Amino acid sequence: MDRSNSKPSRSSLLSTLPPKVPAAGRQIKFRCSFSNTIYDVLCAKGWVETDSDTDWDVQWADREWVYEVFDQMHLESHQRLNHFRNGKEICRKDLLVKNLKKRKRQLEKEGSYEEAMNYDFFPITFNLPREYALFVEEFKRQGGLWIMKPIGSAQGKGIFLFSKLSEISEWRSDYRFTPGQTQAKEAEAYVVQRYINNPYLVGGKKFDLRLY
């Protein structure tokens, strides 16, 4: 959920953030990792910026701070943060797929087959290179157009389409043994999915809507 390049509207942020002065009458203190529209909105609310690691009411932090600090700290009841604890479990592509599949298997094990059927909203997906053999088996059975995405990138970086296994041979060679190597080079991790040929569009463009 790193939004350092995003430009949220002032009106939407101003309507959802707490009022300028809490019930106790003191000013709200904030910390912000960014110098963009988000920072401007926090200042426009009349809040006071602080450098304190612990004495703040609202913090708009980047992902690195969350993973390094937030996952090991305790929040007071009045403190608000722009991330969920361990949020990468639903924000990183490979972990999201892992958890969706895990939840579906859990429901089937419990006998909740009707609810498990609701987990058909995402296309057939594999994590590469770990599930490469399973993917090849499925690819040979279905063929068609597939899409590969780096597990942690954003804004469309590193994404490509293919319809033949030979088109990803260069990626596969990244983790094969070569003469003189003591161990195989680890390939960059990707998720590979059946490509959705008829996605729902807004204004002729693809989009995603995230509700947590």
pLDDT band at 8 (very low <50, low <70, confident <90, very high): very low
pTM exceeds 0.75: no
What's the whole-number average pLDDT of the chain? 82
pLDDT in tens, 109-149: 999 999 999 998 899 999 998 999 999 999 999 999 999 99
Q: What confidence score (pLDDT) does residue 15 get?
A: 47
Residue with tokens 């701070």: 65
Return the exposure string of 82-118: e unless at least 16 CB atoms fall within 10 Å of the residue's CB, then b.
bbeeebbeebebbbbbeeeeeebeebeeeeeeeebee
Which is higher by pLDDT, 14 or 170?
170
pLDDT at 160 over 50: yes
More confident residue, 4 or 201: 201
| Spatial contact of 60 and 38, defined as CB atoms under 8 Å apart | yes
**Residues 6 or more apart from 75 whose CB is under 8 A from it?**
81
Give the model's confidence band at 10: pLDDT under 50 very low, under 70 low, under 90 confident, else very high. very low
List the structure tokens of 154: 């954003």
Q: Quick one: tokens of 61?
A: 């932090």
